[in-house]
Amino acid sequence: MFRILTASKDTYITNKIINNSFRATDSNLGQAGTLDLFKLYNESTLSGVTNPIETSRILIKFPIGEITNMQNQGLIDTSHSSFKCLVKLSDVYGGQTTPKGYHAILFPLSKSFDEGIGMDVATFSDLDSTNFITASYINGEVSLWNEPGATASGSLGQENIDVIVSGTLDSGVGSIPLCPTQYFESGEENLKIDVTTIVSGTVNGLIPDHGFLIALSGAYETNNKSYFVKRFASRNTQSPSLRPKLDVYYDDSIIDAHSNMVFNITSSLYLNNYHQGVKQNILSGASAIPLTGNGCLALKIQTGSFKKIFTASQAKKGNNSITGVYSSSFAISSFDPLLYDHVNASGSVTFNEVWTNFEETVTYSSSSLVIKKEERTFANTTNQNNLLVSILNLNSEYSPGEVIRVRVFVEDRDKDITYVRKPYEKKSNIYNNMHYRIRDVFDGRLLNDFDTENNSTRLSTDSDGMHFSFYTDSLPPGRLYNFEFLIRRNNTDTVIRDAASKFKIV
C-alpha cells in the first residue's frame, strides 16, 4: 500500500525586521504560495539590538487521522517493519540566492496552530494567527507560544513546551530522539525527512497530533552566518504536484501460490470467506462460532494415497488479523516416494485441496491445486523484454476518495503457442516481485516510484492473477495519469511503460 496525504494546513512564522524599525512578529503567512526557511545575521539594524538575527520556522500539519483509521480497520500496522512515513516538501527555486551547507530539523508540535489568511510576503503586513508570538485563537481566547517562535522545547509529556525533542514510546526502550534532520549540501534539494517513529507514536495516541515544526538546526539559527532563503512550495501553490506531502508506505501484499505453486518451496495458500459479498470469518458448528486466531482450521492436501494435513490460521497484516481470510504455509516434497515417479513423468501433480477441521469431519471449502516441478533449462531464461502487460478493469475516470483494486494481466509473447479444441481461458503469468508506480502524463512527473525496499508497491497474487489497490485521493484531480510496472526476476529488472493504463481523477 502506498498513499499520499497532502497537508491540511501550513504556514511559516518569522521575526523579520521591517524597514530597520520593527519586527514582523505578528504577521501571518497562512495563504502564501511558499514556505520560506531562512536566517539572517546582522543584515538589518534595529534600535537597541547588536548583530540582530532574523529567522523563520515552518509549521505544517497532515491528516494523520487517515492513518489511524486505516490501522483501526486492520489495513495497516504501524509497528510493522515495512511501515514508513516521509514528509516531503518541494524546492521552488525562483532565481533567488539559495543557502547551502546546513541542516534542517523537524519536531512534532506540542500545541496546535491556526493557518490564518495572511499572504503578504513583501511587507509582512497581514495580521492573523498563527504568527511568531501567537499559536492559535481558540473560543475567543488567544493561545501564545510558550516562547516566541515556538522555541520552547522539552520531552514528551512535559508541560509548557512548543515542540517535543524526545520521549519514551515503548516501555522496553528508553527515551528516544524525536527530531530528525536533513543536510542540504547544495541548497537545491527537496526536503525529505523520515517521520515514521513520530507518526507511529501519534497513531497510537502517544504523541499529540498537532503537526510539525521545521527549522534550521541548532547552531545554524544562532551562528554569525546568513542562510537566505530556502523556499518550498506550500499547499496553496498552483501546481498540485508540488504541494507538501506525507508519503505512507506499507507492505500489504498477499502472495497466494494457488496459480504458481512449486514443489520443494515453502509457499502460502489463502482462503477468502464471504457473507453476502462481505468478507467475514467462517462460522462453524451449531453455535456458529467464528473461526479466528492461530490454528483455527486445517488444510488437507491429498492425491491417491498421498495425504498431508497442515495447520491453517487467520491471515494477518503485520499484527492485525484479517477478517474472513485464512492462510497456510507449507512445502510438498517432490521426492516423496508416493509422488516422485509421477512428478518426473508429468512435471506436475493435481491435488485435492480441502480446508477442514482437524478431525476432518467438517469441510469448509474444497478445490483442486496443481503443484509444478521446478523450472530447469539449459537456456538463459532471463529475457523479459517481450512481456505484454494489460490492466483488465481500469476505468477512464475516478473520483477522489475511492480505493480502487486494479487487476493486472501479463503475457509472455515469446512463449510457445498451444492449440486446443475447447474453450480456453488464458491465464496471466504470475510474478511474486512485480511493482507499480504512477506517472503524470501531462508533465511526466512521477507521483511515486517502485518501492522494492519496503514493498509498498508490490502486487498481490491470487488464483485469478495479480492485483493491487490505490487511493485516488493520493492524486491531484484534473490530471491524466498512467501506471508503469517493474518485474524483478532472476536479478533482472524489466520496466513496462506501455501498459495502456491512462486514467483521470475528476
CATH number of the domain encompassing residue 440:
2.60.40
What pLDDT, in 10s, does the model give residues 287-335? Answer: 999 999 999 999 999 999 999 999 999 999 888 999 999 999 999 999 9
Q: Are 128 and 116 in contact (CB under 8 A)?
A: yes
Kindly indicate the confidence band of residue 383, based on its pLDDT and cuts at 50, 70 and 90: low
Residues 16 and 39 in one domain: yes
Q: Is 255 among the domain residues?
A: no
pLDDT of residue 384: 59
Q: Print burial letters for 119-152: b (CB count within 10 Å at least 16), e (below 16).
A: eebeebebebbbbbbbbbeeeeeebebbebbbbb
Residues 368 and 391 in one domain: no
Q: Is 398 among the domain residues?
A: yes
Separation in Å, CA 254 to CA 28, 276, 292, 378, 432:
48, 23, 19, 32, 9
What pLDDT, in 10s, does the model give residues 173-184? Answer: 789 999 999 999
pLDDT at 172 over 80: no
Residues 213 and 113 in one domain: yes
Residues 424 and 365 in one domain: no
Q: Is 382 among the domain residues?
A: no
Averaged pLDDT score across all residues of the chain: 94
Q: Is 152 among the domain residues?
A: yes
Residues 347 and 423 in one domain: no
pLDDT of residue 159: 96
Q: Is 379 among the domain residues?
A: no
Which of 93, 256, 71 has its CA nearest to residue 188?
A: 93
pLDDT of residue 318: 87
Q: Is 254 among the domain residues?
A: no
Residues 270 and 240 in one domain: no
For the chain, the domain total comes to: 3
Residues 162 and 283 in one domain: no
Residues 239 and 141 in one domain: yes
Q: Print burial letters for 317-344: b (CB count within 10 Å at least 16), e (below 16).
A: bbebbbbbbbbbebebebeeeebeeebe
pTM: 0.92
What pLDDT, in 10s, does the model give residues 103-143? Answer: 999 999 999 999 999 999 999 999 999 999 999 998 889 99
Cβ neighbours of residue 425 closer than 8 Å, sequence gap 6 or more: none
CA distance 262 to 334: 9
Q: Is 227 among the domain residues?
A: yes
Cell of 177: 530522539
Residues 395 and 488 in one domain: yes
Range of the domain at 462: 387-505
H/E element, 182: strand 181-184
Residues 100 and 234 in one domain: yes
Which of 204, 223, 249 is at the close of a domain?
A: 249
Residues 104 and 170 in one domain: yes
Residues 200 and 270 in one domain: no
Q: Is 361 among the domain residues?
A: yes
Lowest-confidence pick of 18-32, 37-51, 149-163, 380-394? 380-394
pLDDT at 424 over 70: no
Which of 189, 218, 249 is at the close of a domain?
A: 249
CA distance 123 to 179: 32
